[in-house]
C-alpha cells in the first residue's frame, strides 16, 4: 500500500450542513417539512451527487449550501465557520439555465464579473476565456433565445466558470438538454474540474438520473422523499475516465436501484395480526397514468423491472415509482423486489370493458379508508354534498406529514376517474355521483 | 475576375451609400436638436410670462404648429413626471413589504378618483402659489394630465417587479449585484415591455385631459392656456368651421407623428426584453428606428455616455474601497424608505382630515341629491358600455379574424382611440341640438365617443389571439356562424372584453364630468348626474359639494370594480383563458 495523501487523513471540509431541517409555510395548516435532519460535508477534490425523486428537497439542499435559502433549524458551515448570507465560493448552474434574455451570451457572463467589481480589462479577458473553455467562441453576440438548450447550458456553465469558484453547484443541469449534448457537457464539466490545482475544487450536483450520477460522482447521497432525508451515502472510487459499460459501473447502478426500490417500494410486511386500518397516503399519480402502467405491463407479459419501465417510457424513475405505488395501493400490481407484476385484479382490469373498468376502479377506491369515510359522510349529509375544506381537514388530520393539497388533488382525480364522486370547482363541493 | 471586381466595387459603393445616408440622418438629427432648443426657449418664455387669464388665441392656421408644440410639451412633461413617479413609487412598493401594504391600496383609490375632479382645487392652489406668472396654470395642466397617466403605469411596473422570475433573482443574488446593478440588469429589463405599452396607453389617455385642462371656467374666472385645446374652444365659440377642422387635423397629425417618431421605435427597441424564449414572435419594424440606427451621431453619443458612466462607477468604487458592500447601501435605503413611509402616512392622515372637514359641511339633502345623481350616471355609464360592446364585438371580430383587415385597420383604430373625444363634443352637441335630443341621452353618446375604442381595441386583440387550430376545428365540423359566436368567438374574446370594459367604464365615469355639462355657443347644457354635479359645483366654487361628489364617484367606481369587474375578471381567468 502506498502512502496515503495527507488530505485524505485529515480532510479539510469546504462546506457542511449539520442536522438541517427546512420547513415551508403553507396557506393553511401546519408548515410542510421538506428536509429533515440533513447532515452533509463537501470535501475538496470530489464530485458529490444528490440523488432523489422529486419532492426529496434535493434542490433545497443545494440552495441552503449556497446560502440562497436559510434552514429552519441546524447549522451551515463554510470552511468551519458559520455561514452568514451567501457562500463566497460558489458557482451555480441552473436547471432552467436562468440566462437574461435581454443580454447577449457575452453580456450574460460579463454582468457577473462586473458585479464583482473587477476592472474592465479583466472582465473582458475572463469572459472570453470562459466562452472559449465551453466552446462558445463565435456565439458571443447571440441572444439566448437563438440558442438550443445545450448551447444555453454552455452559457450557464461559462458564467459559473468565469468566476473561478471554489465549488461548482449544479441543479439538474442536463435534464433539459438532449441526451447526446448532455453527454458532451458532462465530459466538459469533468475536464474543467479535474486539474487539482485549479478551481473549482469540488462539484455538488443534483440529479435524478442514476447513470449520470454514477458516471460523474465519487460520492452519491441518496435522498428519501416527504420529508427529504439522507437514506444512504454510496462512496466509491471508480477510476476516471469511466465507461458506462464497465462491469463495476453497471454493478453500482444495480446497487443504487436496489437502494431506491427498497426505500420507495418496500416489500409488504408479512400479514399477521390485523393492523388497525389507517388512512393510506395517496401517491400523486394520475389515474390515467396508473391505467397506462397496467396496459404497459400487460403488453410485456405482465412483469417488468421498474427502472426498465422508466427508461422505456423516458420518464424520471420517481414518477414511475409513484405510479407503481398508486397501482399497488389499488391492488392492481405487486412489487416483489424491483419488479412490477400485474396482479390477477390488474389482469382482470386490463381485459374488462370500459364500463366494467369503471366499476372495478370504483370498487378498489372504496377499499381505501379515505374514500370510504367520504362516502359515509356524503350519505349522512342531507344535500349529499361535502365541502372541499371538510375533505382537506380529514386528510390533514390523518396524514399530517403529507402535502394535503396534493393528496386532495389525487383524491379528486381518482374519484372522477372511477365515476365515484364528482367535484365542482366553482362551489368547491364533493358530491356522490 | 469579374466577381472580384463587383465585390470590390460593391463594397466600395455600399460604403458611399452608407456615408451619404448617415450624413443625412445626422444633419436631420442636428436640425431637430436645434428645433428642440428653440422650442424650449419659447416654452420658458411661455411659462414665465405674465399670467393672462384669457389668452388671445390666433385662429390663423399658421399659428397651429406653435399651439400644437405647446400642447405636446405639456403632454410630454406630464409623461416625464408620470415616469418618474412610476419608477419611484413602483420600486418602493415592490421592495418594502411594510410600505407596500399602504402604497398599493392608496394607488387603487387614487386610480378611481375622477381626474377631472382634481382640477378646481389644483388650479386655484397653484395659481395662488404663482400669482404673477403663467407657471401655476401650466403646472396645473401638467399635473392634471399626470393624474390621468400615472396610475396604470405604476401598477404595471409594480407587478412586473413582483413577478421577476425566481431564477433571475437567484442569479443576481449569487452574482452579488448591488441594488443599481439589479435594477439595471434584471428589474428594469423585466418591466420594460409592460411599461412601454402602458406608457403608450397613458399618453393616449392624457390627450383627453389636455383638451379639457387648457380651457375652462371656475366660478367667475375663466382660465386659458395657449394650445390646441384652447384653439378649438375659441374656434367653436366663434363658429369658425375651418379652424375647427384645422385643429382636428393638427391633433391627428400630432398623434400620428408621436406614434411614428417616438412610440413605434421604442416598442420595437423594447422587443429585446421579451421573456418568451421562442424566436418566432412576429417581427416588428419601425422605419424611424432603422433610420436612427443608420446614424453615426447616436452611437457616438451612446459610447461617450457609457464611458462616462463607467468612469463614475470606477471612481465611486475607489472611494468606497474595492469590495462591493451591498449591506451598507441597503441599510441607507431602509432608513430612507422608513422616513418616506412616515411622511406619506402623515400626509394621508392630514388629507383625510381636511376631506372630512369639508364633507361635514354638506347638508343631508345634498347627499341625497348626489345619491340619485350617481344612479343616473351609473345607468349612463352602463348603457354606454353596453352600446359600445354591441357594435364593437362583431366589428372587432371581423377585423381581428382577418389578417389583411387588421393589418390595415389596427394603426387607424389606434390613432382614433388616442384622439381626445372632448375636441369633437361641440360638433356632436350641434348635431344633437339639430336632432332635438337632450343631453340626458346625448351625454351617453358623448361618453361613447371616447370609450368605445378601448372595447374595440381589446376585442380585436382577442380575436387575433384565437389559436388557428380552434378556428380550423370549427370549420371542419361545419359549425354555423351563430354557434361559432357562441362556442368559440365570445368565450375566446371574453377575457379581453373584460379588460376593455374595465377601461371603458373607468373612462366613461371620467367623461361624465364633461359630457353631462357642456358649454355650447355661450349656453350651458346639462343633464342631471354625478358628472354635472361635479362640474356645476366646480363652476360655482362650492367646494364641500364638489368634494362630496368626487368621493361619491370614487366610491361608486371602487365598489363597481370590486363587485362586478373583479368577479368577471376572475371568471374570465378561470374559465375562458386560452393561456393554459
Mean pLDDT (chain A) is 88
Please give the grid coordinates belonging to residue A356.
Answer: 366494467
The answer, for A155 touching chain B at a CB cutoff of 8 Å, is no
Of B170, B272, B324, which has the smallest distance from its Cβ to A117's Cβ? B324
Cell of A134: 465551453
- Chain B residues close to A96, C-beta within 8 Å: 167
- Please tell me what DSSP assigns to residue A269: P
- Per the CB < 8 Å rule, is A98 touching B170? yes
Q: How far apart are CA A115 and CA A103, in angstroms?
A: 15
Kindly tell me if the per-residue pLDDT of B3 is higher than 70. Answer: no
pLDDT mean over B383-405: 92
Smallest Cα–Cα separation from B94: which of B164, B20, B43? B164
Which of B171, B186, B187, B574 has the highest number of chain A CBs within 10 A, making it the mutation to test binding with A?
B171
Q: Rounded distance, CA A83 to CA B346, Å?
A: 41
**Residue B439 binned pLDDT confidence (cut-offs 50, 70, 90):** confident
Structural domain spans, chain B: 10-48+285-315, 52-280, 359-580
Range list of H helices, B49-113: 64-95, 97-112
Weakest mean pLDDT among A161-170, A306-315, B234-243: B234-243
pLDDT band at B12 (very low <50, low <70, confident <90, very high): very low
How large is the ipTM? 0.77
What are the DSSP calls for B192-257, one per residue?
Answer: HHHHHHHHHHHHHHHHHHHHHHTEEEETTEEEE-SSHHHHHHHHHHHT-HHHHHHHHHHHHHHHHH
> pLDDT category, B319, cuts 50, 70, 90?
low
Distance CA A157, CA A184 (A): 13
Q: Can you give the pLDDT at residue A346?
A: 94
Tens digit of pLDDT for each residue in B127-165?
888 877 778 888 888 988 898 889 889 999 999 999 888
Same fold, B52-280 and B359-580: yes
Is residue A2 very low, low, confident or very high in pLDDT (cuts 50, 70, 90)? very low
pLDDT computed for residue B254 by the predictor: 92
Q: Where does the pLDDT of residue A298 fall: very low under 50, low under 70, confident under 90, or very high at 90 and above?
A: very high
- Of chain B, the percentage scoring pLDDT greater than 90 comes to 17
Residue B254: CB atoms within 10 A of its CB come to 20
Across chain B, mean pLDDT equals 82
Do B365 and B545 form a contact (C-beta atoms < 8 A)?
no
How far is Cα B283 from Cα B277, in angstroms, rounded to an integer? 14
- A90: contact with B, CB 8 A cutoff: yes
When pLDDT is averaged across residues B77-87 and rounded to a whole number, the result is 94
Cβ atoms of residues B170 and A98 within 8 Å: yes
The rounded distance, in Å, linking the Cα atoms of B250 and B66 is 11
Cβ distance A102 to B181 less than 8 Å, yes or no, reads: no
CA distances for A119 relative to A113, B180, B315, angstroms = 9, 18, 12
- What does the alpha-carbon distance between residue B296 and residue B330 come to, in Å, rounded to a whole number? 40
Find cell 455600399 and name the residue. Answer: B14
For residues A155 and A134, give the distance between their C-alpha atoms in angstroms, rounded to a whole number: 8
Give B577's DSSP letter.
-
H or E element at residue A207: strand A202-207
* CA atoms of A185 and A209, how far apart (whole Å): 15
DSSP, res A226? T
The contacts of residue A316 (CB under 8 Å, 6+ apart) are A53, A54, A208, A310
- Measured in angstroms, the CA of B176 and the nearest CA of chain A are apart by 6
Neighbours of B24 (CB within 10 A): 13
Residues 6+ apart with CB under 8 A from B438: B432, B527
| The pLDDT of residue A8 is above 50 | no
Residue B409 confidence (pLDDT) above 80: yes
Orientation angle between helical segments B188-213 and B135-162, nearest 10 degrees: 150
d(CA B478, CA B105): 49
Structure confidence at residue B51 (pLDDT) = 64
For residues B553 and B509, the answer to whether their CB atoms sit within 8 Å is yes
**Residue for grid cell 373583479:** B566
Give the up-direction half-sphere exposure of residue B435: CA atoms within 13 A in the CB hemisphere.
11
Q: Could you tell me the pLDDT band of residue B318, with boundaries at 50, 70 and 90?
A: low
Pairing between β-strand A333-334 and β-strand A219-224 as defined by DSSP bridges = unpaired
B189 touches A: beta carbon within 8 Å: yes
Reading the block at residue B235, the C-alpha cell is 374656434
Which has the higher per-residue pLDDT, B334 or A413? A413
Q: Which residues of chain A does B320 touch, with a Cβ-Cβ cutoff of 8 Å?
A: none
At A81-133, the pLDDT tens digits run: 999 888 888 999 999 899 998 899 999 999 888 888 888 899 999 999 999 99
Least confident of A22-26, A356-360, B280-284, B402-406: B280-284
Which run of H or of E encompasses A18? strand A15-24
Taking the Cβ of residue A133 and every Cβ of chain B, the question of whether any pair is shorter than 8 Å is answered with no
For helices A404-417 and A388-398, the axis angle rounded to 10 degrees is 120
Residue B6 has pLDDT above 60, yes or no: no
- Joined together, the cell numbers standing for residue B207 give 390627450
Non-local CB neighbours of A202 within 8 Å, separated by 6+ positions: A14, A42, A43, A44, A45, A46, A47, A48, A166, A167, A168, A193
> What is the structure's pLDDT at A425?
84
How do residues B487-515 score in pLDDT, each as one tens digit?
A: 889 998 998 999 889 888 988 998 888 88
Per CATH, domain B359-580 is 1.10.3720.10 = yes
Q: What is the mean pLDDT of residues B321-342?
A: 64
Contact A94 B185 (CB under 8 A): no
Nearest to A302 by CA among A331, A337, A340, A268: A340
Instruction: Say how many C-beta atoms besides its own lie within 10 A of residue A16's C-beta.
Output: 19
pLDDT mean over A372-391: 91
Residue B440 is predicted with a pLDDT of: 85
Interface test with B, best of A68, A107, A115 (most B CBs within 10 A): A115
The residue behind cell 422605419 is B287
CB B57 within 8 A of CB B139: no
In the 8-state DSSP scheme, what is residue A177? S
Q: Are A45 and A194 in contact (CB under 8 A)?
A: no
Q: Is the pLDDT assigned to residue B17 strictly greater than 80?
A: no
Exposure letters B334-370 (e unless 16+ CB within 10 A, then b):
eeebeeebeebeeeeeeeeeeeeebeeebeeebeebb
The segment with the largest mean pLDDT, out of A175-179, B237-241, B276-280, B282-286, is A175-179
State how far the Cα of B445 lies from the Cα of B451, in Å rounded to an integer.
Answer: 10
Of A418-427, B188-197, B428-437, the one with minimum mean pLDDT is B428-437
Where is pLDDT greater, at A331 or B294?
A331
Statement: residue B471 has pLDDT above 60: yes
Query: What's the average model confidence in pLDDT over B92-101?
Result: 87
Statement: residue B220 has pLDDT above 60: yes
> What pLDDT shows up at residue A141?
92
Q: From CA B66, how far away is CA B39, in angstroms rounded?
A: 9
Asked if residue B201 has pLDDT above 50, the reply is yes
Given an 8 Å threshold on Cβ–Cβ distance, is B272 in contact with A90?
A: no
A164 CB within 8 Å of a chain B CB: no
Task: Could you please state the CATH topology (level 3) that the domain comprising B52-280 is classified under.
Answer: MetI-like fold (1.10.3720)
SS3 state at B522: coil
pLDDT band at B558 (very low <50, low <70, confident <90, very high): confident
Query: Mutating which of A100, A113, A152, A161 best tests the B interface, going by the most B Cβ atoms within 10 A?
Result: A100
Measure the CA–CA gap between A275 and B386, rounded to whole angstroms: 66
Q: What is the pLDDT of residue A82?
A: 93
* Residue A67 phi, psi dihedral angles, 5° rounding: 85, 15
Lowest mean pLDDT, pick from A267-281, A327-341, B508-522: A267-281
CA distance A342 to A350: 10
Task: Tell me the three cell numbers of residue A130.
Answer: 470562459
Residue B264: name the closest of B293, B295, B286 by CA. B286
- Using an 8 Å CB-CB cutoff, list chain A residues near B277: 101, 144-145
Model confidence at B311: pLDDT above 80: no
C-alpha–C-alpha distance, residues A224 and A57, integer Å: 9
Say which range, A129-138, A266-275, B121-130, B156-165, has the weakest mean pLDDT. Answer: A266-275
pLDDT reading at B40 higher than 80: no
| Count of C-beta atoms within a 10 Å radius of residue B183 | 18
Q: Which residue has the higher pLDDT, B356 or B43?
A: B356
| Residues 6 or more apart in contact with residue B205 via CB below 8 angstroms | B148, B149, B507
In angstroms, the CA A50 to CA A229 distance is 11
Nearest to B431 by CA among B416, B446, B447, B419: B446
Distance, CA of B301 to CA of B114 (rounded, Å): 43
A160-177 as b/e, with b when 16 or more CB fall inside 10 Å?
bbbbebbbbbbbbbbbeb
The confidence score (pLDDT) of residue B479 equals: 81
Q: Provide the pairing of β-strand A90-93 with A47-51.
A: unpaired
**C-alpha–C-alpha distance, residues B521 and B527, integer Å:** 17
Greatest mean pLDDT among A413-417, B279-283, B561-565 lies in A413-417
CB–CB of B277 and A66 under 8 A? no
Between CA B533 and CA B547 the distance in angstroms is 11
Least confidently predicted of A142-151, A185-194, B217-226, B241-250: B217-226
Q: Residue A222's beta-bridge partner residues?
A: A51, A232
Amino acid at each position: 500500500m502506498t502512502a496515503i495523501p495527507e488530505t485524505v487523513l485529515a480532510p479539510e471540509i469546504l462546506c457542511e450542513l449539520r442536522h438541517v431541517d427546512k420547513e415551508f409555510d403553507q396557506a393553511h395548516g401546519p408548515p410542510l417539512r421538506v428536509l429533515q435532519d440533513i447532515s452533509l460535508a463537501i470535501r475538496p477534490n470530489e464530485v458529490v451527487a444528490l440523488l432523489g425523486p422529486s419532492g426529496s428537497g434535493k434542490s433545497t439542499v443545494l440552495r441552503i449550501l449556497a446560502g440562497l435559502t436559510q434552514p429552519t433549524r441546524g447549522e451551515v458551515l463554510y470552511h468551519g465557520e458559520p455561514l452568514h448570507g451567501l457562500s463566497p465560493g460558489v458557482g451555480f448552474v441552473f436547471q432552467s439555465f436562468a440566462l437574461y434574455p435581454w443580454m447577449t451570451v457575452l453580456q450574460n457572463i460579463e454582468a457577473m464579473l462586473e458585479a464583482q467589481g473587477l476592472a474592465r480589462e479583466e472582465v473582458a479577458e475572463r469572459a472570453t476565456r470562459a466562452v472559449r473553455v465551453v466552446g462558445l467562441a463565435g456565439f458571443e453576440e447571440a441572444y439566448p433565445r437563438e440558442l438550443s438548450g445545450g448551447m444555453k447550458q454552455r452559457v450557464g456553465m461559462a458564467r459559473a466558470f468565469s468566476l473561478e469558484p471554489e465549488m461548482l453547484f449544479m441543479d439538474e443541469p442536463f435534464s433539459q438538454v438532449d441526451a447526446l449534448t448532455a453527454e458532451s457537457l458532462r465530459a466538459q464539466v469533468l475536464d474543467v474540474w479535474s486539474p487539482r490545482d485549479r478551481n473549482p475544487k469540488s462539484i455538488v450536483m443534483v440529479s435524478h438520473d442514476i447513470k449520470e450520477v454514477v458516471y460523474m460522482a465519487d460520492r452519491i447521497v441518496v435522498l428519501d422523499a416527504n420529508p427529504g432525508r439522507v437514506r444512504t451515502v454510496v462512496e466509491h472510487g471508480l477510476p476516471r475516465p469511466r465507461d458506462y459499460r464497465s462491469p463495476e459501473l453497471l454493478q453500482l447502478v444495480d446497487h443504487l436501484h436496489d437502494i431506491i426500490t427498497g426505500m420507495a417500494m418496500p416489500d409488504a410486511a408479512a400479514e399477521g395480526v390485523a393492523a388497525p386500518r389507517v388512512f393510506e397516503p395517496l401517491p400523486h399519480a394520475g389515474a390515467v397514468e396508473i391505467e397506462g402502467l397496467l396496459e404497459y405491463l400487460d403488453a410485456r407479459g405482465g412483469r417488468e423491472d421498474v427502472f426498465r419501465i422508466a427508461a422505456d417510457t423516458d420518464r424520471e424513475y420517481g414518477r414511475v415509482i409513484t405510479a407503481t405505488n398508486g397501482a399497488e395501493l389499488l391492488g392492481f400490481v405487486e412489487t416483489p423486489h424491483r419488479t412490477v407484476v400485474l396482479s390477477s385484479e390488474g389482469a382482470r382490469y386490463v381485459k374488462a370493458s370500459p364500463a366494467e373498468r369503471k366499476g372495478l376502479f370504483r370498487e378498489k377506491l372504496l377499499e381505501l379508508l379515505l374514500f370510504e369515510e367520504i362516502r359515509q359522510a356524503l350519505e349522512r349529509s342531507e344535500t349529499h354534498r361535502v365541502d372541499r375544506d371538510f375533505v382537506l381537514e380529514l386528510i390533514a388530520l390523518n396524514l399530517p406529514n403529507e402535502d394535503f393539497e396534493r393528496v386532495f388533488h389525487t383524491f379528486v382525480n381518482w374519484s372522477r376517474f372511477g365515476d365515484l364522486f364528482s367535484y365542482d370547482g366553482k362551489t368547491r363541493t364533493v358530491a356522490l355521483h | 475576375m469579374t466577381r472580384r471586381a463587383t465585390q470590390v466595387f460593391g463594397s466600395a459603393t455600399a460604403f458611399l451609400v452608407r456615408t451619404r445616408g448617415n450624413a443625412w440622418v445626422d444633419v436631420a438629427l442636428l436640425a431637430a436638436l436645434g428645433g428642440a432648443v428653440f422650442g424650449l426657449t419659447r416654452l420658458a418664455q411661455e411659462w414665465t410670462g405674465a399670467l393672462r387669464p384669457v389668452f388671445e388665441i390666433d385662429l390663423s392656421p399658421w399659428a397651429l404648429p406653435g399651439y400644437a408644440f405647446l400642447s405636446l410639451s405639456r403632454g410630454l412633461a406630464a409623461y416625464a413626471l408620470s415616469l418618474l413617479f412610476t419608477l419611484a413609487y413602483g420600486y418602493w412598493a415592490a421592495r418594502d413589504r411594510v410600505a407596500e401594504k399602504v402604497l398599493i391600496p392608496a394607488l387603487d383609490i387614487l386610480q378611481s378618483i375622477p381626474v377631472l375632479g382634481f382640477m378646481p382645487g389644483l388650479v386655484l392652489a397653484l395659481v395662488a402659489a404663482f400669482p404673477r406668472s403663467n407657471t401655476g396654470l401650466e403646472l396645473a395642466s401638467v399635473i392634471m394630465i399626470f393624474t390621468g397617466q400615472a396610475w396604470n403605469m405604476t401598477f404595471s411596473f409594480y407587478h412586473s417587479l413582483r413577478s421577476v422570475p425566481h431564477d433571475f433573482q437567484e442569479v443576481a443574488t449569487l452574482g452579488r449585484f448591488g441594488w443599481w446593478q439589479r435594477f439595471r440588469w434584471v428589474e428594469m429589463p423585466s418591466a420594460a415591455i409592460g411599461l412601454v405599452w402602458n406608457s403608450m396607453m397613458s399618453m393616449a389617455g392624457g390627450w383627453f385631459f389636455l383638451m379639457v385642462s387648457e380651457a375652462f371656467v371656475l366660478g367667475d374666472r375663466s382660465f386659458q392656456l395657449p394650445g390646441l385645446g384652447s384653439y378649438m374652444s375659441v374656434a367653436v365659440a366663434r363658429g369658425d368651421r375651418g379652424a375647427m377642422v384645422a385643429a382636428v387635423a393638427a391633433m391627428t397629425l400630432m398623434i400620428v407623428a408621436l406614434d411614428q417618431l417616438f412610440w413605434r421605435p421604442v416598442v420595437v427597441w423594447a422587443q429585446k426584453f421579451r421573456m418568451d424564449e421562442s424566436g418566432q414572435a412576429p417581427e416588428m419594424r419601425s422605419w424611424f428606428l432603422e433610420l436612427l440606427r443608420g446614424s453615426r451621431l447616436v452611437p457616438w453619443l451612446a459610447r461617450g455616455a457609457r464611458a462616462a458612466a463607467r468612469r463614475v462607477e470606477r471612481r465611486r468604487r475607489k472611494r468606497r474601497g474595492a469590495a462591493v458592500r451591498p449591506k451598507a447601501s441597503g441599510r441607507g435605503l431602509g432608513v430612507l424608505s422608513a422616513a418616506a413611509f412616515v411622511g406619506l402616512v402623515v400626509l394621508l392622515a392630514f388629507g383625510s382630515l381636511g376631506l372630512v372637514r369639508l364633507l361635514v359641511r354638506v347638508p343631508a339633502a345634498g347627499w341625497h341629491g348626489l345619491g340619485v345623481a350617481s344612479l343616473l350616471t351609473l345607468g349612463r355609464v352602463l348603457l354606454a358600455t353596453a352600446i359600445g360592446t354591441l357594435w364593437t364585438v362583431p366589428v372587432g371580430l371581423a377585423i381581428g379574424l382577418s389578417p389583411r383587415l387588421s393589418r390595415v385597420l389596427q394603426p387607424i383604430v389606434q390613432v382614433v382611440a388616442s384622439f381626445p373625444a372632448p375636441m369633437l363634443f361641440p360638433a356632436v352637441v350641434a348635431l344633437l341640438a339639430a336632432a332635438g335630443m337632450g343631453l340626458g341621452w346625448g351625454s351617453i353618446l358623448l361618453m361613447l365617443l371616447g370609450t368605445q375604442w378601448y372595447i374595440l381595441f381589446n376585442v380585436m386583440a382577442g380575436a387575433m389571439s384565437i389559436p388557428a387550430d380552434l378556428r380550423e376545428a370549427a370549420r371542419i365540423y361545419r359549425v354555423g356562424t351563430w354557434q361559432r359566436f357562441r362556442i368559440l368567438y365570445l368565450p375566446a374574446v371574453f377575457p379581453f372584453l373584460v379588460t376593455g370594459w374595465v377601461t371603458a367604464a373607468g373612462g366613461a365615469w371620467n367623461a361624465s364630468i364633461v359630457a353631462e355639462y357642456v358649454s355650447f355657443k355661450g349656453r350651458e347644457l346639462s343633464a342631471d348626474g354625478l358628472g354635472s354635479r361635479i362640474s356645476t359645483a366646480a363652476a360655482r366654487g362650492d367646494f364641500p359639494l364638489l368634494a362630496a361628489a368626487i368621493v361619491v364617484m370614487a366610491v361608486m367606481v371602487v365598489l363597481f370594480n370590486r363587485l362586478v369587474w373583479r368577479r368577471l375578471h376572475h371568471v374570465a381567468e378561470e374559465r375562458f383563458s386560452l393561456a393554459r
